[in-house]
Structure 1
Amino acid sequence: MADSTQSEKISSSHGGDGFVDASAGQKAPSPDKDSKSTPQAASIVRELIYWRDVKMSGTVFGVTLLLLLSLAAFSVVSVLSYLLLALLVVTISFRVFKSVVQAVQKSDEGHPFRAYMEKDISLSSESFSRYLDTGLKHGNCVLKQLSRLFLVEDLVDSLKLAVFMWLMTYVGAVFNGITLLIIAHILVFSIPVVYEKYKTPIDRYVGIVHNQVKSVVSKVQAKVPGLSKRKPE
């Protein structure tokens, strides 16, 4: 009886709704804006490389390709100097133009870049610490894998790395670093679209090649002593 009387009082005090909002009076936790930055950045990159917005992807592709071609022809210092100089010429010209227009029209619009100058572009200590922790985590993983490969924890994986490095010596003899970056840049903006369009036949042929390579590797491991991988304990 006491419990029913207490529930009736609570129900009447809340307008007879018959329930109590347990979260009433508690402030909902505000979403962390920084925690959403990484998924948003990944989504933006995905939209660019899959050409969801043709104009935006074309602009980014053209500008970055032009920058890489400039780095292939000139030094990094020259490219950065000319790039910053061009940016300054554009902003100074626009600033002078708006000042002349305001003087002729006798208007008081103020600085043309005021809206951009008032934006807070500072990096908070929490964001910097989080990015630093993420970078250290990935760096430690890379160091662990390198130590595992170069200290020959698994002979097969170390041999694969040796073969890959041997092939890269031939690639390096033909192409320099900037040329490889240009090729990689073109592939990044072309392969995802082609794969999305021809996904089924590509997966079929890749599966055939993967099975053949796996069969050859298993035969080599069976015939050569010491190449079989250790079974996990």
Structure 2
Amino acid sequence: MEGTMAAEGQNGGDDGMMRIGKRCYVSNLAWKTSWQDLKDKFRECGQVVYANVTRGDDGRSKGWGIVEFETPDEAIAAVNTLNGTDLGGRRIAVREDREDRDVKQFVEGEEGAAAAPRARSTRGRGRGRGRGPRAPIEGEPSGFQVCVQGIPWKYTWKELKELLAECGEVERADVMTAPDGRSKGWGTARFTTKEAANAAIEQFHGSSLEGRTLTVFLDKKA
């Protein structure tokens, strides 16, 4: 059926179906909606392993959030069944989280810090409908997100978040992976304050972690 989501790797031909990972982007949230409200709502579709409502410097909700499921099929179910439904008196919009699959281009945050690999657009290549790098959200503040290179291969976003939480509250963490699911050895972390992001750079840049040297710098594109 047109508009139905398919899991990445399934129905890869030109059948008009979109691909999706394990994460959903949820917008038009009521200002009072918390991450727990979001998690409770999306439990209808499967095992929620991560839920977050993005907030500004003043602690107020920005009206959007992220939900990650245990499997892509659960994320598909959420997009197909919860998009347009009510949560907190507002009709929410649910779609695939493009940042879950795309790698944005990063720039050097300080002298001597190597830039992360440039994302290549897969638009028009292969059998699926690829997407290029996600454009930064207009008006989104800079200085809150860092890029971390040299992450141990076994690290997931959870380990990265726990590591950097020593410097302050981490709003979101991601470890970039290849199509086969293996880590690319780098990721991003978004803090709730610029001070925490700078503290992470000061504390972890050049440090050793499980035999690898970390490179940490501000993501000026976020």
Alignment TM-score > 0.5, same fold? no
Q: Which structure is higher in RCO with an 8 Å CA cutoff and minimum separation 6? A: 1
Choose between structure 1 and 2: higher helix proportion.
1
Larger radius of gyration: 1
The TM-score with structure 2 as length reference comes to 0.22
The TM-score with structure 1 as length reference comes to 0.21
Choose between structure 1 and 2: higher strand proportion.
2
